[in-house]
Amino acid sequence: MGVVRVQEIANFSKETIPEEFIRTTYEQPALTTVQGTVLEVPVIDLSDPDEEKVVRAIVDASSNWGMFQVVNHGIPRETVGKLKEVGKAFFELPPHEKEAYAKSPGFQSIEGYGTKLQREVEGKKAWVDHLFHKIWPPSEINYQFWPKNPPSYRKNNEEYAKHMHGVVNKLFRCLSLGLGLEGNEMKEAMGGDSMVYLLKINYYPQCPRPDLALGVPAHTDMSAITILVPNDVQGLQACKDDHWYDVEYIPNALIVHIGDQVEIVSNGKYKSVLHRAKVNKEKTRISWPVFVEPPSDLEVGPHPKLVNEANPPKFESKKYSQYCFCKLNKTPK
């Protein structure tokens, strides 16, 4: 029997949701969100010619928030628009067309169309289906996982990846300078041009009980950084000072999350952000995070220039694949 997708469950759940989607009272958004306050995370203008100012803003945001939004980032509005158009069109295809890209059970790759099979924390499920595939570097791409329908899917995603490359380089340069390192050292610590960009499309169908369900439960990203664009439905929440807030939706901005690997390389100066995603009663929400990751066999640890007797390493060095395995399986080593 095939896997039941959340998109199908949403089609017949008009008033209630199956019990396995009802989060515990510790997680339910209606009970755990600070109401009436939208978190205005720092907004950084990447086109500002005053690089020192941009670096200071990124250091402040990465140390105190673990996230920020960037505007004037250089990715044309049309490119982002086309990425969203084809991603949405894929999820609107009939089920059998999407299932052609389904991850095969037991197959270790994260790439493909899927729904989290295992119940996670406290035995609950998330209200979301997804599609994962690499978009960079071109040599790492396995086009088997890229939808052939709509026909412009490939062209639009390639165009987005190319522009994303420029933004990633700029962000790593600023993160590096902000630690007192040379401009290229943070990127080099993550594998340089061997870094992999993994795109995920989160498809959160309309949900009759957004007060009880979550699209993605609380987590920090394992990546170095994550760069995300949502459709126009607000839903991202971040934890600040132990409280959950809605994050402001800014049209045309890119949302940047500091991931665990940047926290590790910076030896804790930059913080990965705890975040989660809500679902919506009237509208389907879709988001496109790009996880910018070190190659899986690269060992990542605090940068040698940032540790000394007074500042001992706060994190163990680990191969990225091992880090992910340990985090997913919650083992200490």
Q: Site residues (CB under 6 A) for ligand AKG?
A: 200, 202, 216, 221, 228, 230, 235-236, 275, 277, 287, 289
**Which single residue brings its beta carbon nearest to ligand AKG?**
287
Residue 277 interacts, among Fe ion, ligand AKG, none and using kind-specific CB cut-offs from 5 to 8 Å, with ligand AKG
List the structure tokens of 56. Answer: 């200071």
Q: Where does this chain touch Fe ion (CB under 5 A) — which range of 2-10, 174-182, 218-226, 322-330?
A: 218-226
3-state secondary structure 21-69: HCCCCCCCHHHHEEEEEEECCCEEECCCCCHHHHHHHHHHHHHHCCEEE
**297 classed as catalytic:** no
Query: Rounded to the nearest whole angstrom, what is the least distance from the CB of residue 235 to ligand AKG in the complex?
Result: 6
Beta pairing, strands 318-319 & 299-300: antiparallel
Query: Rounded to the nearest whole angstrom, what is the least distance from the CB of residue 277 to ligand AKG in the complex?
Result: 4
- Per the residue annotation, which of 73, 134, 221, 269 is the catalytic one? 221
- Beta carbon nearer to ligand AKG, 56 or 124: 124
- Per the residue annotation, which of 98, 257, 275, 303 is the catalytic one? 275
- Beta carbon nearer to ligand AKG, 164 or 177: 164
Would residue 93 be called left, alpha or beta, if left means φ above 0 and alpha means ψ between -120 and 50 degrees?
beta
- Beta carbon nearer to ligand AKG, 55 or 216: 216
Rounded CA-CA distance 73/86 in Å is 22
Cβ atoms of residues 195 and 202 within 8 Å: no
- Per the residue annotation, which of 200, 314, 319, 327 is the catalytic one? 200
**275 classed as catalytic:** yes
Q: In Å, what is the CA distance from 213 to each residue of 55, 209, 242, 249?
A: 38, 6, 20, 20
Choose among 112, 204, 110, 195: nearest CA to 161.
Answer: 195
Q: Which residues pair with 136 in a beta bridge?
A: 197
Instruction: Tell me: does residue 263 bind Fe ion (CB under 5 A).
Output: no
Choose among 108, 162, 167: nearest CA to 137.
Answer: 162
Residue 191 interacts, among Fe ion, ligand AKG, none and using kind-specific CB cut-offs from 5 to 8 Å, with none
- Beta carbon nearer to Fe ion, 221 or 260: 221
Largest CA distance in the chain: 61
- Beta carbon nearer to ligand AKG, 147 or 259: 259
Q: Which residue of 27, 129, 159, 221 would you call a contact of Fe ion, by CB under 5 A?
A: 221
Q: Which residues pair with 288 in a beta bridge?
A: 229
**60 classed as catalytic:** no
**221 classed as catalytic:** yes
Q: Where does this chain touch Fe ion (CB under 5 A) — which range of 62-70, 192-200, 213-221, 236-244?
A: 213-221
Residue 178 interacts, among ligand AKG, Fe ion, none and using kind-specific CB cut-offs from 5 to 8 Å, with none
CB proximity list for 223: less than 8 A, separation 6 or greater: 198, 257, 259, 260, 261, 291, 292, 293
- Beta carbon nearer to Fe ion, 181 or 198: 198
Q: Which residues are catalytic?
A: 200, 219, 221, 275
Which chain residues interact with Fe ion by CB under 5 A? 221
